[in-house]
Amino acid sequence: MDRERRVEVRAPLKASDRDIADFVRSRDDWLRRTLARMAEEPQPIYLRNVQGARHPYRGRVIVLHLETGSRRIVLDDDRLRVRLPDLAPEKISRALDRWYRERAREHFETAIDRHFPFFAERGHRRPVLRVKRMKSRWGSLSQRGYINLSLSLVQLPPVCLDYVVAHELCHLEQMNHGPRFHALMDRVMPDWRARSRLLNRLPPVVPGTP
């Protein structure tokens, strides 16, 4: 079953149509529950790098404005002005990726700075930030001293970014998600559960078009 809620059945070549139909009927309850759950999931936002496209950024919407000229990208209120000598799609994509990464590193470092003093007092070393494209996670903490954060976080509300950063920093002390981890999160960010629910309700942002 895919995000379009299409059901695909794969069966051995020797299986009869009746056997296949019987199998599908036997899974009817599961299919109904799964379809109902998928209907409640937020649908992805597909980014388009074209004139007038709307992009989420820091929890708000900015509009892409493309123009030809000397290279310059400026966020002007709710308009992201992208000026490039060549407006070929691949040039726009590379320029925007670079701009988002620069903004992401700036905001991510600020969020880490805001939360790390608590952990520094407990004897931990500040992890090194790595901004990455991550398909299935918002962040991770490696035992080699890196905090990996998804580039897509820069498009979400700041309260969600702060939650992910606090979550990963708590793994400096508790590498699992057991009761001690939750108790530590309660100390660092008392409203973390509400932030987590908000994060899970937000639609995923997918580069390109469907």
DSSP string, 23-64: HHHHTHHHHHHHHHHHHHSPPPEEP--STT-EEEETTEEEEE
pLDDT tens by residue, 72-106: 999 999 999 999 999 999 999 999 999 999 999 99
Whole-number pLDDT of residue 41 = 56
Cα–Cα distance for residue pair 170/23, rounded to 1 Å: 46
pTM of the model: 0.78
Average pLDDT, the chain: 88
pLDDT band at 182 (very low <50, low <70, confident <90, very high): very high
Sketch out the chain's domains with CATH numbers.
1-41 (no CATH), 46-206 (3.30.2010.10)
